[in-house]
């Protein structure tokens, strides 16, 4: 098997939606990949390694990253994409469910960053891309935990970029509007009901967002798109 000529990219939450589209985009470019998800069959095929894990389990995430690095070389890009949203009145939610959502959306990002940051500092190179949301600056009703966690992710990216600028490490916050994924299934409703509930808006295709993120990554290392708010032209939000 030929050695990969491009550096390793790690994508969390890669079993569907934005994560799967990112895997397709970076794979087309010839990058070896570590793809993680709770709902993924573990294994390695060619230059793609898959790991079934939860990003809140730091030991499992770090072990998967170290295994991928042993096979493909150091991580050049981490995409923190894992996440979900639960919509409903805050007073009616289970506190344990809220805590888990916050853990995945924020602590999972911290875990990913911590697992790759030391190596990037030593090499004086690396890119960390956090998939946030338009909700990190335009919060909506009945998604309080999600929007608060995404605001924390945005703040983390800004702070981390300032701290790691001297190490030539790029930190990017990507904040898309509504992306067409299967997120509605996690909310227990068909797409049409979800679409009507939101007021029949225009959606961004996951592949479109993946191409935007790949473009940002492919820019010279000295250029960092620090905070990118991506919305359909037809949207009046923001």
Rounded CA-CA distance 87/187 in Å is 7
Q: Is residue 237 part of a domain?
A: no
- 49 falls within a domain: yes
- N residues, the chain: 238
User: What CATH number should be reported for the domain holding residue 226?
Assistant: 3.40.50.720
Domain membership flag for residue 124 = yes
Is residue 127 domain-resident? yes
Point out the least confidently predicted range of 46-60, 82-96, 136-150, 193-207.
193-207
CB contact at 8 A, 210 and 218: no
**Domain hosting residue 22, numbered range:** 8-230
**Of the segments 174-188, 189-203, 217-231, which one has the largest average pLDDT value?**
217-231
Q: Is residue 92 part of a domain?
A: yes
Least confident of 7-11, 93-97, 138-142, 186-190: 186-190
- Evaluate whether residue 3 is within a structural domain: no
Cα separation, 133 vs 122, in Å, equals 30
pTM: 0.91
pLDDT band, very low/low/confident/very high, at 226 (cuts 50, 70, 90): very high
Beta bridge partners of 204: 179
Provide mean pLDDT across the span 132-145: 90
Alpha carbon 57 to its chain centroid, in Å, reads 16
Residue 197 clears pLDDT 80, i.e. is over it: no
- Count of domains for the chain: 1
Please tell me which residue, 179 or 37, carries the higher pLDDT value: 37
CA gap 36, 100 in Å, rounded: 18
Known catalytic residues are 146
200 part of a folded domain: yes
**Is residue 56 in some structural domain?**
yes
């Amino acid at each position: 098997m030929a050695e990969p000529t491009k550096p390793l990219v790690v994508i969390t939450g890669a079993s569907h939606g934005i994560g799967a589209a990112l895997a397709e985009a970076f794979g087309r470019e010839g990058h070896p990949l570590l793809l993680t998800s709770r709902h993924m069959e573990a294994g390695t095929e060619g230059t793609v390694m898959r790991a079934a894990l939860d990003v809140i389990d730091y030991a499992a995430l770090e072990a998967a990253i170290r295994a991928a690095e042993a096979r493909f070389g150091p991580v050049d890009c981490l995409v923190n994409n894992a996440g979900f949203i639960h919509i409903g009145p805050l007073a009616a939610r289970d506190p344990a469910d809220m805590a888990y959502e916050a853990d995945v959306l924020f602590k999972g990002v911290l875990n990913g960053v911590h697992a790759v940051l030391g190596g990037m500092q030593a090499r004086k190179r690396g890119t960390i891309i956090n998939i946030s949301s338009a909700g990190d600056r335009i919060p909506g009703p009945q998604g309080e935990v999600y929007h608060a966690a995404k605001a924390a992710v945005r703040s983390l990216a800004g702070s981390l970029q300032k701290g790691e600028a001297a190490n030539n490490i790029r930190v990017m916050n990507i904040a898309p509007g509504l992306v067409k994924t299967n997120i509605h299934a996690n909310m227990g409703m068909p797409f049409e009901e979800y679409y009507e509930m939101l007021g029949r808006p225009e959606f961004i295709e996951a592949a479109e967002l993946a191409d935007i993120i790949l473009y940002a990554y492919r820019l010279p290392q000295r250029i960092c798109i620090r905070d990118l708010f991506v919305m359909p032209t037809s949207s009046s939000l923001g």
